[in-house]
Amino acid sequence: MRITDDWIAEPGLQAVLGVLAQAGHRALLVGGCVRNALLGAPVTDIDIATDAPPQRVMDLAAAAGLKAVPTGFEHGTVTVIAAHVPHEVTTFRRDVETFGRHATVAFAERVEDDASRRDFTMNALYAEADGTLVDPLGGLADLRARRVRFVGDADARIREDYLRILRFFRFHAWYGDAEEGLDADGLAACAEHSAGIETLSRERVGAEMRKLLAAPDPAPVVAAMQASGVLGHVLPGAEMRALAPLVHQEAGLEPDALRRLAVLGGEDAAERLRLSRNDARRLDLLRGLIGSMAGPAELGFVHGAALARDALLARAAVMEQPLPEGWQEAVATGAAATFPVKAADLMPAFEGPALGARLAELQARWIASGFSLGREDLLR
């Protein structure tokens, strides 16, 4: 089996692979680029694995006139720049000792050793420079079945890095077969070791959760996370009941992790997931608007069309109610409206706090009129 996508023939990529191959080394494409190419999904990150030690990669690149940067030299990674494009080249590795996120590794000469230390079988797929598939662990069968399965013993893989629990759910949300459900052994291991999530940095947990929630339909996977106890360690108090209705309401819209996070609830989401200040503000606003009484037009005027839409979708999902009839037109009307009264229109009769209160009163009256009252009507 061969990959024939255009990206594999890019001059820079072929130059790097060629430099290693001409020196007698094995150079293989690996991981996400191979997986996605076989699935027909977009390929973004291209990684190269080789039996050449990192210093040998540096020397060969220099001799070929290519710039090489030791970006992760102690872990075997060298970035080689060819045709103005950086290519990450990592030496085959095998684990000597693992402890959480950290591991003592040794460089290896066999692709089988390198494959055995990866997380899932679908990520342990390699390809030669001409696209010929190399499948040392039988990952192609799992990929074709859309089965996310740990390499070797699931317990051992998770103990090496507890983030793999979240990656297990995230990969199933993106690449798994929703009808078949999650791999039973993997799910059991994730449930048993779920407390290990508490040891991870919140930045890494937040990044994984955002990727998971951005999947086309993460609801079945989040339900499995809740049932297995994993969700409670990520976001205590979170409840996935409204997520499936929200995904249904979103039909035709780009998935949005924060919109979906808003209906999950949970304690201290911004802190636990290390959201940026802007994202934390948007999440708090969305959650507040779910319980507000403001109608579509008012939401559109006060918050803009995009946030109004998200708030109405989230509200309908949480409250288990249909969206208001004509809500999209009302949001657009509100977003396009301009309040006709200026502060100067009320001065000097009103100043300071009294001026602000009077403006708020007139604006509320104007909104209640469906934006029909004009400046003269409001000032009379």
What gap in Å lies between CA 339 and CA 221, rounded to an integer? 45
Number of residues in the chain: 380
Given a cut of 70, the residues of the chain with pLDDT beneath it are 96-105
Contact 60, 17 (CB under 8 A): no
124 and 185 co-located in one domain: no
Range of the domain at 309: 236-337
Residue recorded with tokens 């996935």: 240
Residue 335, Ramachandran bin (φ over 0: left; ψ between -120 and 50: alpha; else beta): alpha
CATH number at residue 5: 3.30.460.10
For residue 343, what are its two tokens?
Answer: 């502060």
Q: What is the pLDDT of residues 295-310, one digit of tens each?
A: 999 999 999 999 999 9
Domain end among 189, 204, 234: 234
CATH number at residue 168: 1.10.3090.10
pLDDT the model gives residue 376 = 86
Contact 86, 79 (CB under 8 A): yes
pLDDT the model gives residue 178 = 82
272 and 308 co-located in one domain: yes
Residue recorded with tokens 């809500």: 327
Domain end among 86, 118, 144: 144
Burial class (CB in 10 A: 0-12, 13-18, 19+), 125: buried
- Residue 99, H or E segment: strand 93-99
Q: What is the pLDDT of residues 158-180, one digit of tens each?
A: 999 999 999 999 999 999 998 88
Domain end among 179, 213, 234: 234
4 and 94 co-located in one domain: yes
273 and 355 co-located in one domain: no
117 and 40 co-located in one domain: yes
57 and 30 co-located in one domain: yes
115 and 99 co-located in one domain: yes
35 and 110 co-located in one domain: yes
48 and 129 co-located in one domain: yes
167 and 129 co-located in one domain: no
228 and 131 co-located in one domain: no
Q: What are phi and psi of 305, to 5 degrees?
A: -65, -45
pLDDT the model gives residue 349 = 86
199 and 296 co-located in one domain: no
| Number of domain units in the chain | 4
